[in-house]
Amino acid sequence: MEVEAYLGTSDRAAHSWRGLTDRTRVIFGPPGHAYVYFIYGMYECLNFVCEPEGQAGCVLIRALEPLAGLATMRRRRPAAHRTEDLASGPGKLTLAMGITRKLNGADLVTGPLQLLKPRHESPFEVQTTPRIGITHCADWPLRFVIADNRFVSR
């Protein structure tokens, strides 16, 4: 599991940095919703909106450990030859899970994509590192990974 935080208007790496636009509308909306954006002409990335309505701030979901639907994910990700590669990056993750911009703005509690509490939660240690793939504020320690976890990018 791997995530990155993007702050509101103070974070030059964040889409919300320039303020409210058509694209950033859902980031400024209520928390608990999905922000899905299109990048590099081919990929989509999933974020969770985290700040109260009117403020901007979200978390980019960069990688996760696939637990269910493995066969479906393998079909969607023919380039992934190992289970660890199915969702080990923000673009790979959305491909594996079939997440597209149609889910932009979806409610993560009641909508078609739901964030659930795990049935069994095992303890883990969080490791903090700089964010990946950005130019502005590149040294801010806002990337969080489960320590020693195989299911992360890179």
* Nearest C-alpha neighbor of 96 from the set 88, 107, 83, 86: 86
- Altogether, the residues listed in the chain come to a count of 154
Question: What residues contact residue 119 under an 8 Å CB cut-off, 6+ apart?
Answer: none
- Interaction site with DNA (CB under 7 A): 4, 6, 13-16, 18, 21-24, 27, 35, 37-43, 45, 47, 58, 60, 77, 79-80, 85, 89-93, 131-136, 153
CB 151 within 8 A of CB 65: yes
- Runs of H (alpha helix) within the chain: 70-76, 90-97
CA–CA distance from 123 to each of 4, 90, 126, 147 (Å)? 20, 24, 10, 11
Whichever of 3 and 146 has its CB closer to DNA, that residue is 3
CB of 87 to DNA, least distance (A): 8
CB of 51 to DNA, least distance (A): 12
CB of 148 to DNA, least distance (A): 21
Number of other CB atoms surrounding residue 114 within 10 Å? 10
Whichever of 40 and 120 has its CB closer to DNA, that residue is 40
CB of 107 to DNA, least distance (A): 18
Whichever of 88 and 121 has its CB closer to DNA, that residue is 88
Whichever of 54 and 118 has its CB closer to DNA, that residue is 54
